[in-house]
Amino acid sequence: MDAMHIYNANRVVDPDRQSEAEIRWSSDGLKAGLFINEYLHAVIDFENRKAYCRSEFPQAAGPWQAPKREQWNDSLVALFE
């Protein structure tokens, strides 16, 4: 439905460290968050057809296309607590 940039592999600070990726769901079951090493990188809001990532790249596309990708907000972490 959309695609999001998560990180640049050549900019990873500790590339030899084993990482753990986890998908967590909000309590309402309508949002999913991508956590890598306990750090939220992206959120998909299925109810509102919006996707958020820290780099806000690329522009939203596909069926969820919007004039501009929604701006990242650190308060998104609270959805998964």
Residue 3 placed within a domain: no
Residue 22 placed within a domain: yes
Residue 2 placed within a domain: no
Residue 63 placed within a domain: yes
For residues 43 and 28, the answer to whether their CB atoms sit within 8 Å is no
Residue 24 placed within a domain: yes
Residue 31 placed within a domain: yes
Q: Is 42 helix (H, G, I), strand (E, B) or coil?
A: strand
Q: Quote the pTM value.
A: 0.81
The CB-based long-range contact list for 23-30 (8 Å cut-off, 24+ gap) reads 24/80, 25/80, 26/79, 26/80
Residue 10 placed within a domain: no
Q: What is the pLDDT of residue 11?
A: 83
Task: Dump pLDDT digits (tens) for 39-61.
Answer: 999 999 999 888 898 887 877 66
How many structural domains does the chain have? 1
